[in-house]
A and B are shown apart, each in its own frame.
Chain A
Amino acid sequence: MNEERKIVGNLKGTILRIPSILSNNRTVIAVLAFLYLLPLGTTAGTSPVRALLFLITQIMIFSLLAMSFDLQLGRSALLNFGHVALFGVGAYFMAYTLDAGFLPEPFNAIAAIPYPLTLVLAMMIGGFLGLIMGLTTSRMRGTAFAFIALAISMFLYNFYAENPGLSGGETGLGVPTPDLIRTAPFYLLFVALAFVFLAAFAGMVILYLKKRTDSIALILFTPIMIVFTAFLFLFGTNIYGPILVFYAFLGMILLFWMERKRRISDPLEYVEKTFAMKGEVETTNKMTTYVIPFIIIIITLIGLAVTFGTNIAEMVSLWIEDTTTFYYTIPVQFYLVLTCLVMTYFFIRRLIASPFGRMVTAVAQNEERAEALGYNSYRAKIVVLVISGAIAALAGALYAPFIRTIDPGTALGVEVTINAMLYTIIGGIGTLLGPILGTGVVVYSELNLVDFITEGLGLPGRLWLVGLGVMYIFIVLFMPLGIVGSIGRRAGSIKESLRQLKFGRFEFGLKDVDYWVFGFLGIMGLFFFLVEDPRFLPIAIGIFGFLGVVGFFLLYIFRGEISSRIRSYAKKLRFARGGD
C-alpha cells in the first residue's frame, strides 16, 4: 500500500516537473520539434526535403564526432591527433556486423547480433579504445598524449590499408543498410517520438504566453504562428490539418488574453482580491491551467496527424507490400541520428554541470592545483576519454551504414581528425552548440562552395579548397574563439541593452525567455533557404526580413556606441594626417 503511494507520488512529482523542464529548454525544444517534424513532410516518392534530410544527417553524424572531440579538447584540454581511431573502430565494427563475409570463420558470428545492440557494442569498443589511449595519460600530458594517439590511429590505418582482405581493397567495404531501418514499426516509433516533441513544443508555447503577458509576446508569437502554418500548408497533404493547427494557435492567443486580463488589470485590486478579502492565496484557475491548454495541445496534435497522416499511411502500406523498400532509409536514418545526437547533447550538458564535470574543468585549467586540492586528475581524464571514445564510435557506427562504403582513407585517415578539429575550432571549443554549428557551416560550405565559386564569382570550381582555406583564415582572424565562443563573449552586453530597448513611449524590452523565438525562426528560415525551391523564397525572405528588422533595432540601440566609435576613428585619422 505504502509502496504504491510512493510510486504514485513519484509519478506526480515527475508530471509536476514537466512545466519547469519545458520552460528551461525553450530554444532546444523549439528547434527539436521542427527537426522531428521535417521527415514527416517527405512522401514515399521524391521530394526536395529528402536531399536536405541527407545533408542534415551527414552534418549530425559529424557533429557527434566533433562533440566527442570537443569533450577532449574543450573540456579537458587533451589534444588528440588520433581521434579518428575511435571513429574508425565503430565504423568497421558496424560494417562487419552488417556484412560478415569479410571476417574469417570464428569471428563472423558477430553478424548474428541484432542491429540496435550493435550500436551499444560499438560504443563499448570505442570506449575500450579510449581507455587504452587513456592508460598513457598518467605520465603524458599535452603533446605526448596527442602523439601516442596518433601512433595508435596510424597503426590501425596501416593495418587496414595493408590488409585488403579486411578492408575491401581499393573499392572499400560495402555496408548494407540494416534491416531494422527498413521496417515500418521502427519508423512509427520515431513518428510517435516526433509527436511527443511537438506536444512539448505546443505546451512550451502555451507556458510562454501565460508567463509573458506583455504585448511584446504577441508581436513575437505572430510570425511563428504564420510561418508554422505556412510550413504545414506547403508540405502537408491537405488543407484541413493546417487550419486545425491555426485554430489551436488562435486558442493560444485566447489564453494569452485571458491570462493578461487576470494579471495586470489592476495590480492593487488583484492583491486586495486574493489576500485581503479571502485571506488566502487564490487557488489556481482550473480553466486556464489545465482544460484549455490540454484542448489546445490535442487540437494541435490532431491537426498535425491530419496534415501528415497520408504520408505516414503510405509509408506503412509500402512496408506491408514489400519489405525491401528503400524509402525508409533516409527518414529513419535521420530520426535515428537525430535521436542519438539529442541524447548525446543532453548527456554532455548534464555531465558538464555535474560535480565530475566541474572536476574535469578544474583539471583542464590547472592540473597541479586540482591535484593539490585532492582530485585524481588521471581518473578524470581517463573517464573523459572513455566517454568521448564511446561517442566517437557511435558516430562511426552510424556513419558506416549511412555512407554505404567505407575505406581506410575515409574511416581511419588523418584527414578525419583534422576535419573534426576544424569543426570544433570553428564552432568554438568548450561550448555545447559550437561543434554542431561548426560542423554545419563547414560541411555545408564544403558541398556548396563549388557552386558559389563557379556561379557567384565566375572562377574555376577547382579553387574550392582554396576558398575553404581562405574562409578558415578569415574566421580565425575575426573570430579567434570560434563562432559560438566569440558571440558568447559579447552575449551578456547585447542582452542587457536589448532588455532596455525603447521606442518613444513604447517599451520593447526582450527578456531571456524570448530568445527561443529567434532560434525557431532562424532554423525555419534556414530550412526554407536550404530547400532551394523558388516557391519558398518569399517565405525565407519574410523570415529573414523579420530577423533583419530585429537587427535594425539592434543598430538603433547601439547607435550611440557606433557613432562615438566613428567619431574617435575620425579623430585618429585627423591626428595621423598631421594634427591640424
Chain B
Amino acid sequence: MTMQTKRFSPRDYLEENPQVRKILRIAMVIALIIIGGLLVVMAIDVYTWDGFVARTSKSVVNGLALSMLLFLMVSGFFLIFGLCDVINFAHGAFFMLGGFMGFVIYLGTEALFLDSTLPFHLIFGANQFAMSLTAFIVSALGATAILALIGGGIEFFTVRRLYGNPIAQILLTVGFMFIITQIAEIIWGPPQFSYFITPNSQIAYFFMSGILDFGEGMIFEIYRIFLIFLGLAVAAIMFVGFRKTRIGLQIQAGIEDSEMVEALGTDIRKLFTIVFMLGAGLAGLSGAVLVPWIGANSGHGLTYLIYAFVIVVIGGAHYGRFEGTFFGALIVGLSMQFTAYFIPFLENIIVFIIMAIILIIRPGGLTGHE
C-alpha cells in the first residue's frame, strides 16, 4: 500500500534528456516554418498568382524602404527607452511634426532658390535637379535640427524632474503628444488631409517622381530605392558611431547598466539630454524623408507610435542591442509590404501576429532578455 507509483510526466522526462529536447525543439521550428509556408502559399492561392515576380520584387523594394524609414524613427525611440527608461509616447508626435517641418522647409527653400532677386539661381542655373536635391537635404537637416531642439528642451525642462517615476513620465509624454498633435491639427488641418511635396512644388522636374521601368510591371520609384540607401547609410553611421566614438560607447554602456556608468564618472544627466536630442532628431529626419512617399499627416502620430512599440519589443526592449531594432524594423516593414501585395486582409494585423509569436517564443524579444 505504501508503494508510490511515479506518474509519467513529459516535462520531467524532457528535463532529464536534454538531447531529446533539443531535437524536439528543432523539429518544432521546422514544422512551424513548413506550416507557415503552406499557409502563405494557400493564402496566395486564394487570391492570384498573376504577376508573382513583379509583385514580389515590388514588395521587396517597398518593404525595404519602409523598414529603413521605420528603423530611422524607431532607433530614436529605442535609445530613449533603453537609456532613460522613458516610454516616450510623444515620439510619434515628433515623427509627425518632423514630416510637417520637412514639408514646410522644403517649399520655403525652393521658393528661396527660385526667387530671381536672390543670388541662388546663379549657383544652380537651370539645374533643377541639383536645386531640388539641395532643398531636400536642407529640409531633412532642418527638420532634424528643429526636432532635436524640441526634444532636448522637453527633456531639459520637464522629463529631467521625473526620472525614476515611470508612471508620471507616461502622463507627461502623453500630454506632449496631445499638445503637438493638436497644434499640428490647428495649423495643417485634421488627419483627413495629407501633404505631399510633389503637387505643391513649383519645379516640374523632380528627382522624387522618377521611375525605373524593367518591363512586365516591374516599375520602381527611384525615391524608394534612395530611401533604402539613406537608411542603410544612417544605420552604418550609427553602428560605427556606437562602436568607435566615446559618447556612443557611453550610451551603449548606459543601456546595459546606467548606475555603473554613472559610478565610473560619466555625467549621465548630460547623456540623457543628448540621447533625447538624438532620438527626437532621428524622428524628425525620418518624418521629413517620409513626406515625398507617404506624406505628412497630423494622424501619423499614433499610428507610427504603435509601430515603434512593436519594433522595439520585437528587437528587444530591455537590455536589448541596436541590431535588434534594425532586424525588428526589417521584419515589420517587409511583412507589411508582402501582405499588402499578397494577402491584403492581413496587412494591418500581420505585425501584431508576428510580435505575439516572437514574444511567446522569446519573451525578451530578439536580442534582449527578461
From residue B315, how far is it (CB to closest CB) to chain A in Å? Answer: 12
Query: In the docked arrangement, what's the CA distance between A158 and B347, Å?
Result: 10
Instruction: Please state if A425 and B345 are interface contacts (CB–CB under 8 Å).
Output: no
Instruction: Please state if A144 and B313 are interface contacts (CB–CB under 8 Å).
Output: yes
From residue B92, how far is it (CB to closest CB) to chain A in Å? Answer: 11
Find the residue from A159, A472, A476, A480 having the highest chain B CB count within 10 A. A476
Ordered by A's residue number, 24 sampled pairs between the chains whose C-beta atoms are within 8 Å are A81-B309, A139-B363, A139-B370, A143-B318, A144-B365, A147-B359, A148-B356, A148-B359, A148-B360, A151-B352, A159-B349, A414-B306, A422-B174, A425-B168, A463-B186, A466-B178, A470-B179, A472-B172, A472-B174, A472-B175, A476-B168, A476-B175, A477-B161, A480-B165
Query: In the docked arrangement, what's the CA distance between A470 and B172, Å?
Result: 9
For chain B, the bracket of interface size reads 35 or more
Query: In the docked arrangement, what's the CA distance between A136 and B179, Å?
Result: 35
Report if B198 contacts A (CB, 8 A).
Answer: no
From residue A5, how far is it (CB to closest CB) to chain B in Å? Answer: 46
Report if A577 contacts B (CB, 8 A).
Answer: no
Total interface residues in chain A, CB < 8 Å: 45
Report if A579 contacts B (CB, 8 A).
Answer: no
Closest 3 CB pairs of A and B: A472-B175, A465-B182, A469-B178
Instruction: Please state if A465 and B179 are interface contacts (CB–CB under 8 Å).
Output: yes
On whether A147 and B355 interact (CB within 8 A), knowing A465-B178, A465-B179, the answer reads: yes
With beta carbons under 8 angstroms apart, the residue of B177, B310, B360 that contacts A136 is B360
Q: Chain B contacts of A473 at CB under 8 A?
A: 158, 172, 175-176, 179
Instruction: Please state if A162 and B182 are interface contacts (CB–CB under 8 Å).
Output: no
Report if A140 contacts B (CB, 8 A).
Answer: yes
Instruction: Please state if B179 and A466 are interface contacts (CB–CB under 8 Å).
Output: yes
From residue B192, how far is it (CB to closest CB) to chain A in Å? Answer: 13
Q: Chain B contacts of A460 at CB under 8 A?
A: 186
Report if A421 contacts B (CB, 8 A).
Answer: yes
Query: In the docked arrangement, what's the CA distance between A142 and B310, Å?
Result: 14
Query: In the docked arrangement, what's the CA distance between A151 and B179, Å?
Result: 27
From residue A66, how far is it (CB to closest CB) to chain B in Å? Answer: 13
Q: Chain B contacts of A154 at CB under 8 A?
A: 306, 348-349, 352
Contact flags A333-370 to B (C-beta < 8 A → 1, else 0): 00000000000000000000000000000000000000
With beta carbons under 8 angstroms apart, the residue of B183, B317, B353, B355 that contacts A466 is B183
Instruction: Please state if A472 and B171 are interface contacts (CB–CB under 8 Å).
Output: yes
Q: Chain A contacts of B313 at CB under 8 A?
A: 143-144, 147
Find the residue from B161, B175, B349 having the highest chain A CB count within 10 A. B175
Q: Chain A contacts of B161 at CB under 8 A?
A: 477
Query: In the docked arrangement, what's the CA distance between A292 and B171, Å?
Result: 53
Known: A147-B310, A469-B174. 5 other contacts (CB 8 A): A151-B356, A155-B352, A161-B348, A414-B302, A465-B181
Report if B111 contacts A (CB, 8 A).
Answer: no
Closest A residue, CB atoms, query B354: A151
Instruction: Please state if A158 and B359 are interface contacts (CB–CB under 8 Å).
Output: no
Report if B23 contacts A (CB, 8 A).
Answer: no
Report if B107 contacts A (CB, 8 A).
Answer: no
Q: Chain B contacts of A151 at CB under 8 A?
A: 352-353, 355-356, 359
Residues of chain A from 143 to 201 with CB closer than 8 A to chain B in the complex: 143-144, 147-148, 150-152, 154-155, 158-159, 161-162
Q: Chain A contacts of B175 at CB under 8 A?
A: 468-473, 476
Query: In the docked arrangement, what's the CA distance between A118 and B162, Å?
Result: 44
Residues of chain B from 338 to 370 with CB closer than 8 A to chain A in the complex: 345, 348-349, 352-353, 355-356, 359-360, 363-365, 370
Instruction: Please state if B162 and A476 are interface contacts (CB–CB under 8 Å).
Output: yes
From residue A482, how far is it (CB to closest CB) to chain B in Å? Answer: 8
Q: Chain A contacts of B158 at CB under 8 A?
A: 473, 477
Query: In the docked arrangement, what's the CA distance between A274 and B340, Å?
Result: 90
Closest A residue, CB atoms, query B165: A480
On whether A466 and B348 interact (CB within 8 A), knowing A418-B174, A480-B162, the answer reads: no
Q: Chain B contacts of A81 at CB under 8 A?
A: 309
Closest B residue, CB atoms, query A426: B171
Report if A429 contacts B (CB, 8 A).
Answer: yes
Q: Chain A contacts of B182 at CB under 8 A?
A: 462-466, 469
Report if B167 contacts A (CB, 8 A).
Answer: yes
Instruction: Please state if A158 and B349 are interface contacts (CB–CB under 8 Å).
Output: yes
Instruction: Please state if A147 and B309 are interface contacts (CB–CB under 8 Å).
Output: yes
Report if B170 contacts A (CB, 8 A).
Answer: yes
Query: In the docked arrangement, what's the CA distance between A10 and B309, Å?
Result: 56
From residue B172, how far is it (CB to closest CB) to chain A in Å? Answer: 5
Query: In the docked arrangement, what's the CA distance between A147 and B365, Å?
Result: 11
Contact flags B250-287 to A (C-beta < 8 A → 1, else 0): 00000000000000000000000000000000000000
Residues of chain B from 146 to 166 with CB closer than 8 A to chain A in the complex: 158, 161-162, 165
Instruction: Please state if B348 and A158 are interface contacts (CB–CB under 8 Å).
Output: yes
Report if A318 contacts B (CB, 8 A).
Answer: no
Query: In the docked arrangement, what's the CA distance between A81 and B308, Å?
Result: 14
With beta carbons under 8 angstroms apart, the residue of B176, B360, B365 that contacts A469 is B176
Closest B residue, CB atoms, query A147: B313
Instruction: Please state if B171 and A422 are interface contacts (CB–CB under 8 Å).
Output: yes
Query: In the docked arrangement, what's the CA distance between A464 and B302, Å?
Result: 19
Q: Chain B contacts of A466 at CB under 8 A?
A: 178-179, 182-183
Q: Chain B contacts of A152 at CB under 8 A?
A: 356
Q: Chain A contacts of B162 at CB under 8 A?
A: 476-477, 480
Instruction: Please state if A150 and B359 are interface contacts (CB–CB under 8 Å).
Output: no
Query: In the docked arrangement, what's the CA distance between A472 and B171, Å?
Result: 7
Find the residue from B176, B318, B348, B363 having the highest chain A CB count within 10 A. B363
Q: Chain B contacts of A426 at CB under 8 A?
A: 171
Report if A441 contacts B (CB, 8 A).
Answer: no
Residues of chain A from 191 to 249 with CB closer than 8 A to chain B in the complex: none
Query: In the docked arrangement, what's the CA distance between A425 and B162, Å?
Result: 14
On whether A425 and B178 interact (CB within 8 A), knowing A143-B313, A143-B317, A144-B363, the answer reads: no
Contact flags B55-87 to A (C-beta < 8 A → 1, else 0): 000000000000000000000000000000000
From residue A224, how far is it (CB to closest CB) to chain B in Å? Answer: 36
Query: In the docked arrangement, what's the CA distance between A173 and B168, Å?
Result: 36
Contact flags B74-117 to A (C-beta < 8 A → 1, else 0): 00000000000000010000000000000000000000000000
Q: Chain B contacts of A571 at CB under 8 A?
A: none
Query: In the docked arrangement, what's the CA distance between A421 and B176, Å?
Result: 15
Instruction: Please state if B370 and A469 are interface contacts (CB–CB under 8 Å).
Output: no
Q: Chain A contacts of B318 at CB under 8 A?
A: 142-143
Q: Chain A contacts of B176 at CB under 8 A?
A: 469, 473
Q: Chain B contacts of A162 at CB under 8 A?
A: 345, 348
Report if A499 contacts B (CB, 8 A).
Answer: no
Query: In the docked arrangement, what's the CA distance between A73 and B166, Å?
Result: 12
Report if A475 contacts B (CB, 8 A).
Answer: yes
Contact flags A456-497 to B (C-beta < 8 A → 1, else 0): 000010111110111111011100110000000000000000
Report if A141 contacts B (CB, 8 A).
Answer: yes
Q: Chain A contacts of B178 at CB under 8 A?
A: 465-466, 468-469, 472
Q: Chain A contacts of B317 at CB under 8 A?
A: 143-144
Closest B residue, CB atoms, query A141: B370
